[in-house]
């Protein structure tokens, strides 16, 4: 049911602009802090589908729907326990191009939205936790051409009182 709500929300943003251009983001993520301790420092993967909506010459909005998966790794402090984490997100990103050319050049980005987190542990201390929280990220990007770009960003989401998801995300973006 939650997945259906996310898909309907994503479909609702598609007609926001006649100039909207769809795209995808593929990314690697390196967990930090509590997320790193929970998953044994395993690197994760993710993907997102987005729509690019130009607001002005240098400002672009990018609503997106995405997923992240961090595979099972040994949980710090719990011998014999392996944990994995995943999230589904519905975010709004803002991109600012100082040179006012959204087809080429460097840009700053910031994002905020909702994330549905799932953390599963197997072994000595099995558990399944899930929480819906606000997430945020910010970073830098570079648009090589109207279609291809790269980004590096830091992400943050308070999953539970004893687990905050933080880390570094490196991504490639493709606009169609």
Query: pLDDT tens, 26-66?
Result: 999 999 999 999 999 999 999 999 999 999 989 999 999 99
**Per-residue model confidence as pLDDT tens digits over 120-166:** 999 988 999 999 999 999 999 999 999 999 999 999 999 988 899 99
Burial of 137 (0-12, 13-18, 19+ CB in 10 A): buried
Rounded Cα–Cα distance for residues 61 and 55 (Å): 7
pLDDT exceeds cutoff 80 at 2 = no
In terms of DSSP bridges, do strands 44-54 and 81-96 run parallel, antiparallel, or are they unpaired? unpaired
Query: The pTM is what?
Result: 0.85
């Amino acid at each position: 049911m939650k997945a259906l709500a996310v898909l309907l929300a994503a479909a609702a943003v598609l007609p926001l602009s006649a100039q909207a251009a769809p795209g995808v983001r593929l990314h690697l993520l390196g967990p930090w802090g509590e997320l790193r301790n929970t998953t044994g420092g395993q690197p994760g993967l993710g993907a997102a589908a987005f729509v690019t909506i130009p607001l002005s010459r240098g400002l672009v909005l990018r609503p997106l729907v995405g997923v992240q998966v961090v595979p099972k790794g040994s949980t710090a402090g719990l011998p014999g326990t392996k944990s994995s984490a995943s999230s589904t997100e519905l975010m709004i990103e803002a991109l600012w191009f100082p040179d006012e050319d959204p087809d080429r050049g460097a840009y700053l980005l910031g994002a905020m939205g909702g994330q549905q987190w799932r953390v599963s542990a197997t072994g000595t201390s099995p558990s399944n936790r899930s929480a819906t929280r606000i997430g945020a990220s910010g970073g830098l990007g570079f648009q090589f051409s109207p279609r291809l770009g790269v980004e590096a960003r830091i992400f943050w989401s308070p999953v539970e009182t004893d687990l905050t998801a933080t880390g570094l995300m490196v991504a490639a973006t493709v606009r169609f």
